[in-house]
Structure 1
Amino acid sequence: MGRIVLVCYEYWRWMRQAEHTLQSIRADLDIGSYSWACFKAQQAAEFATRALLRALGRPAFGHNLVALFNELAGLCPTTGGELRFCVGYLDKMCLTPRYPDALTEGVPYERYTEEEAAKA
């Protein structure tokens, strides 16, 4: 088995951003901005996944959370199960919470609920 070299600086840069993004979700929940809370949950998961990939010296580009997670799961075979389900749910929160034309009618801030934000 090959030796794994961790790039800690990149890990911490991305993980700090993930943590900050998670903290900002609380304010969105308090004011009822559920669409932004959903989007930020996706972003926090993306940042954390990128942190792990970059720590392992892997490129981490794009916004497809499922693809990023699959790359990580390929490196860490025990990754999966319930986490894979969560990643699939969060991946759907990248575009629709932000863009009115991603919906057939209405605007994102009117369509997302507290329950969806809590789940995200």
Structure 2
Amino acid sequence: MRKYLCVIEIKPECRDEYIGIHNNPWREMLEAIRDAGYTNEALFYYKDQSIIYLECPDDTTHEECDARLRATDICKKWDVTVCPWFAAEPVMCEKIFDLNQQLEGELRAD
């Protein structure tokens, strides 16, 4: 499994809306995320930062899953709703530690 982490700065005045839509997400969006190839996604919120953890199968990259997701009508509608709440562009984080991979003797960038 490939693991990714993305951080998005959220405008402070949009915090409640952003958290609210993720507490009650659209069913069609959940299905689109799964159908795009993601095997897991979890969001955490800390000091106006949305921290997004993503998993993809070993034979698929985040970029491939993201391209499939972004091509859907429901994701386009979601982005029109949610993206105005962003204070900055999303940033993909560099993985520097993975317990299981390093116990096996190799850190993979995923």
Using the size of structure 2 for normalisation, the TM-score is 0.31
Identify the structure with bigger relative contact order (alpha carbons < 8 Å, sequence gap 6+). 2
More strand by share: 2
Structure having the higher Rg: 1
